[in-house]
Amino acid sequence: MNVWLNGHILPLEKAHISPLDRGFLFGDGIYEVVRFFDRTGMAMDAHMQRLERSLQLTHMNGFNALEFPALCEQLLNAENLRNACVYLQITRGVAATRSHIPPNNIQPTVFAMAHASGALDTLTAATPIALSIQPDLRWHRCEIKSTSLMGSILPMLDGRSHSADEAILIRDGFVSEGSSSNIFVVHGKKVATPPINTDPSILHGTMRTLAMDATKQLGFDMSIRPIQESELATADEIWVTSSGRVLASCVALNGKVFGHGTPSKMACSVINSMRLAMENLLVKSL
């Protein structure tokens, strides 16, 4: 396996990072994950905008978000991949000593890797997913894709007792998002997802945007509004969106069968519409 590290493509076993790297010592880093179909990054402009936002909000210098597509292309070439997920991580870099305040002009550590994923034509049905409901105990800057993910890992571990794959996080009685995803709730033909520009904010999900567009195009009532925790128990469907999963449909909630125990027809219609939209992106990129 080849990886990208500080401007170089090299074998994974030869990639070394100092233990004084602030990503290791403090979790002082950010990341992005992009899904590629046929060598085209889905919603790449949105990923670059989100990466630039994370860089600015964390006062991290030394990497230009506009370099991201070229980095991905080199990595996909090195791994000979057409359908893949690319993970990019940028930490503040290496300092001479462990200090909470970083030195001026510190150079970031830039790391990226890619792994094979399914082709676009495999997205014909929503993936089944088991969910649990957990309190949102994370920090309040969730719009930053920080590598400090302990707050997201713990709810997933707590959900293991329900054999859950993902957690729906609740903040002050309202749904915020998933541990690593955005959440949609469906009642009849009405679809809702929480707003991203709340205080505190949530993740500006790229697949969230594609799912909202697809839902509207199919003629369903799509709204962005606060969702009360109590609505989860009465929902007809619950969807999860992320770059890795694209769109998944809840089949179990807190250890109990949800709905019919299989991905819903509505969710499958939405992911098929998303697939068609992404196929159009591929055509335009040729």
CATH of the domain at 56: 3.30.470.10
pTM over 0.85: yes
Query: Residue 206: which CATH number?
Result: 3.20.10.10
Judged against a pLDDT cut of 90, whether residue 202 lies above it is answered with no
Domain that holds residue 203: 127-283
Are residues 29 and 170 both part of a single domain?
no
* pLDDT tens digits along 66-88: 999 999 999 999 999 999 999 99
User: Is residue 138 very low, low, confident or very high in pLDDT (cuts 50, 70, 90)?
Assistant: confident
Are residues 114 and 21 both part of a single domain?
yes
Are residues 213 and 275 both part of a single domain?
yes
User: Is residue 139 very low, low, confident or very high in pLDDT (cuts 50, 70, 90)?
Assistant: confident
Domain end (from 118, 137, 172) = 118
Q: Any bridge partners for residue 2, and if so which?
A: 11
Are residues 202 and 68 both part of a single domain?
no
% of the chain with per-residue pLDDT over 70: 99
Judged against a pLDDT cut of 60, whether residue 286 lies above it is answered with no
Question: What pLDDT does 285 receive?
Answer: 64
Domain end (from 118, 141, 164) = 118
Judged against a pLDDT cut of 80, whether residue 200 lies above it is answered with no
- Establish whether the linkage from the previous residue to 200 is cis, with ω within 30° of 0: yes
Count of domains observed in the chain: 2
Distances (CA, A) of 100 to 25, 79, 97: 10, 37, 10
- Torsions phi, psi of 174, nearest 5? -125, 150
Determine the average pLDDT of the residues in 182-192.
Answer: 97
Domain end (from 67, 93, 118) = 118
Amino acid at 129: I
Are residues 96 and 160 both part of a single domain?
no
